[in-house]
Amino acid sequence: MNESIHIDMTIVVSDSDIQDHNFDPQSIITMLSQSQLKTLKESLLEVVEDKDGGPQIGDLHISHWQYELSKNTGKFRLHFAIDRQFCCSDTKSCIADYVDFTFVKQHNNYLTARATYFNWSINN
């Protein structure tokens, strides 16, 4: 188990879309390929120490979107849930967390995003 991981993503998004004042940052999630989405979720699970309940990553959404057109850079917060269902009971649990990304918008319709995710769980 790692205490922290680095996440790098390259997302296809057109220059005109990201510069549009009506751009919906939630669409970034739908722009990820199935392979990228799977890799992202697996990466986030790497830092989850307690594997009881078969943790799964879900409920992805974006907030705190900022884009500085003059520098072609920005940042966003990716929120997610760590869902668990324990097999010997009907007990479910969910913990919400987030990771902050910075990005550079390339002129070739790519957005390159980078983040470091740290496990903040306290283990006694």
Q: What is the pLDDT of residues 83-106, one digit of tens each?
A: 877 676 666 677 889 999 999 999
- pTM of the prediction? 0.86
Q: Tell me the C-alpha to C-alpha distance, in Å, between residue 63 and each of 74, 87, 105.
A: 12, 33, 18
CA distance 76 to 66: 6
Three-state SS across 17-37? HHHCCCCCCCHHHHHCCHHHH
User: What is residue 46's three-state secondary structure?
Assistant: helix
- Cα Rg, the chain, nearest whole Å: 16
Q: What is the pLDDT of residues 7-21, one digit of tens each?
A: 999 999 988 888 887
